[in-house]
Amino acid sequence: MHRLRLTGRAVTVAAVLALASSTMTPARAAAAPDVVAVDFAQRTGPVHGGATGMLYGLSDPGVPGDSLLAGARPRTVAQKAPDGDQHPNGDALVVADGFLAAGGEEIVVYMQDVYSRWPYENLGIDDYLAKVDTMVRKVVRERPADKDRFVWVPFNEPDWIWYQDWDALKEKFFGDWKAVVERIRSIDPQARIVGPNEARYNPGRLRDFLTWAKGATCGGGDCLPDIMAWHELSRDSLAGYRGHHEHYRALERELGIGPLPVNIDEYGNRRDMSVPGQLVQWISMFEDTKVDADMAYWTYAGNLDDHAVRTRQANGGWWLLKWYADLTGETVRATPPHPNVPDTVQAVAAVDEPARRGTVLAGGGAQPVRLDVTGLDPALFGRQVDVVVSKTTWTGYEGDALKPPVVAARRTTAPGGKLRVDLPGGDVMAAYRVTIVPSSGPAPAIDAPWTTSIEAESATLASAQAYDQDTTADPQKYATSGKRDVGSMNQPGSAVTFSVTVPRDGRYRLGIHHGTNKVPGRHALFVDGALDRLVQYSATLGWTYRGRTDVEIELTAGTHRLSLRTSADGTTLLPGSDITLDRFDLTEITGPARAAYPADEARLSGGARLTRSGAGPAITLGGGARATFFVAAGQDGYHDLTLSYRSGRAGDLDVRIDGRAVPGVRAARPGDGASRVRVYLPAGISKVEVGGFAGLHLRELVTVRAGQADAAVHRVEAEQARLSGAARVVGAGVRPTPPPARTWASSATAPPARSPWTGPPGSGRGVRAGDALRQRRQEHRARVQHRRHQPVPRHQRDRRRDGARRVPAQLRLGQLLAPGHPAHPHHRGRRPRPRQRERLRAQRRSAGAGPVRPRSGQPRLATPPGRGPRRAASRRAVPGGRLA
């Protein structure tokens, strides 16, 4: 089914979102909404905040960024045993300092990840005990002050690794569990044990284990774990988890144990990671039951389980993690229409009485949603409230997202403590944050720009094909907007063409959701039939692992035809142009990038408190009190940072960005004021901490891009530096200067063709299309020098074991696969046999392409230069899954 989804500012303001009291009616008829009842009078306990832990979310110190980690603030992470061989990085000891500094609580140590193979090689319990002894002693020796922050998982998924046949191996498992637990406690008597950590909830096995563990003796105590753990790794878990948790608590009561804390230390599928509308369904379940839970690790180590865009940058899913980490106070009853039905709207809500603030996080449904809010105590919220709705949606796994826009805002009354908030439908991948506070200061306002989205499969296709990516039928597929994409763009005439109507003359940002197959690529962007530029795509993990590339174009008011093509001249394929296209987002650029962070969005520490007065909310500082904001920058460069406040006297403000002091920020006089300072922010998330003297009341922080100041940046080319050792300059060359930008008229008056110049967005540089292959070869040589050995990801080992198709070996740049080639992603046949492979190699050699590397069984996921440290590949098997 083709789908064309359009959204615009007029729709956003007038009809998409209505905020009204319970006595008001909608302005126009609409589809019956899904109703979520939120009762702020029914408290369900303190906010636990444990639902966004991560398995191998961290890899190395500073990766993917300390500010990103602090913003998401996971309570738990699960990492490999010290000096383990399962992955090249992700060592629990190595990442501990950064995790704990970001507010983390527990590091879950996967002890069997000391082994190199998956499933783990079984060398006998004596071999394993020796390794257990070494790793526990190392943690006790190196972390004596906080060794209690490390909790130990003796066995990972024993229901299918080492002890699958329960009837035959039950007693052996009991004996091995006892031996490992006794060895751990002989070294650290206070060590906490996590288990049994099975791949799914197995009530029969769990009953047998708990019954035995309660009566057995392990080092002077019983053999029960200190933390109960199992995994929820299927779409059905969205329907069954609450039943599993309820059954487990009943089993505890029956056996007379616990209640033990619970950690679901692996959950979710590929389609869930990075997608706000999917994640909110999992978060609501785990927060409802007050457990810790760690997102599964399917792709890279060190990218916060698919929520970091390379280094420092956040995607749309990260902002939901941050919103969840911001919740304070107590949770309240939020009742969705279908609590245990996958892929339906779910919600979590909380109230912070000292801050006089209510918050609701909701999403996950395709239908419109109505929040029926009750229990708003007038003593807490007053008779008039300000309601602000922000939206975060999917931006791809590697598509960066700036601060989520405010899509609706209203000052309204809440008679009888009741309120109705209508949320739009249609974006099943989005999540919303609704904040309700007493009215004060200026009325809240919308700040969302005009934007429209077009699905690639709804466009006009030439020599290209739309493919189904049904993540409902197969949740192990990577997320895809609209569950379809466009691929097989491998002919000189391949093109995807679509029309857009823009409201006014100006500059627009075109965001292209794409998937490349481990190498960079290019398309030609035509506007109204004329070549505008070459679009350079960065490498992604595969055709269905989505990145997003942004380009800026000038358009006049009216309708225009945009086309992405594999050839700039209609005859010659651009290098790497066989790229999957998923969705196009066109957003108006209204001026320098600006973002406002009001007092309600700050995290408070050191005794800081939020107060409300007629002038609006403010944070009372003084002494060690601090307000922390997580600000987003779309690109490296200078920004003006403005702090608004009310001060009782003149004095200095203590402002720190990522821990570095910013001098010269001062309140010049008593009363209301603002101080501005120009700072350099790297692209991505930066942590801004603000402190000050007693009597300072901070109202807001605002950032504005100051692009003109970038002329002061001092740049040094690497080849101009002093070289030593084996360092040498390679691939030196000079790039020409691009011509000035053009403003296209409407489609009725198409401009003449011009030379194909392009460059990275915002770089100010360009290259001739004819030089593309030469430049790509230079980039390829640079990447080869940066490669390091990567172990074979577990899911790929299992696929090879099952006889499924392997990942193609890295190809030389400029070589493209025809649709009929057995290694092509859309080829349905088997891969070539040995003689066929030799014949293919001979054909390539005769064509002058050079030898093909043998299929070594371990694809090299090289990171292009300048993209930050590399991360390990994924670890989990997907039995029967199709390799993306």
Positions annotated as catalytic residues are 157, 266
Tally of helices (H runs) and strands (E runs) in the chain: 13, 49
Place of tokens 């053009």: 742
Three-class DSSP category at 837: helix
Report which DSSP code applies to 832: P
DSSP string, 76-141: EEEEEPTT-SSSSS-BHHHHHHHHHHTT--EEEEEGGGGSSSSSPP---HHHHHHHHHHHHHHHHH
As a whole number of angstroms, the distance between CA 174 and CA 380 comes to 54
As a whole number of angstroms, the distance between CA 71 and CA 204 comes to 40
Phi, psi at residue 602, to the nearest 5°?
Answer: -85, 150
Nearest to 637 by CA among 688, 712, 704, 707: 707
Nearest to 173 by CA among 183, 162, 184: 162
Phi, psi at residue 456, to the nearest 5°?
Answer: -60, -40
CA–chain centroid gap for 554, Å, is 30
Pairing assessment for the beta strands 580-589 and 530-537 based on DSSP bridges: unpaired
Token duo for residue 146: 């906080």
- Residues contacting residue 670 through CB under 8 Å, at least 6 positions apart: 647, 648, 649, 650
DSSP string, 296-350: ---S-TTSTTTTEETTTEE-HHHHHHHHHHH--SEEEEEE-SSTT-TTS-EEEEE
Q: How many Cα atoms are found within 13 Å in the side-chain-facing hemisphere of 699?
A: 18
638 C-beta neighbours (distance < 10 Å), count = 20
Rounded to the nearest 10 degrees, what angle do helices 203-215 and 166-187 cross at? 50
Report which DSSP code applies to 761: T
Rounded to the nearest 10 degrees, what angle do helices 316-326 and 276-288 cross at? 30
- Residues contacting residue 255 through CB under 8 Å, at least 6 positions apart: 207, 210, 211, 214
As a whole number of angstroms, the distance between CA 746 and CA 195 comes to 64
Token duo for residue 380: 């807490």
Report which DSSP code applies to 797: H
Token duo for residue 861: 């996921």
As a whole number of angstroms, the distance between CA 661 and CA 655 comes to 6
As a whole number of angstroms, the distance between CA 372 and CA 355 comes to 22
As a whole number of angstroms, the distance between CA 406 and CA 404 comes to 7
**Residues 632 and 705 sit within 8 Å (Cβ to Cβ):** no
Token duo for residue 349: 């809500």
DSSP string, 529-584: TEEEEEEEEPP-SSTTS-EEEEEEEEE-SEEEEEEEESBSSSSSBPTT---EEEEE
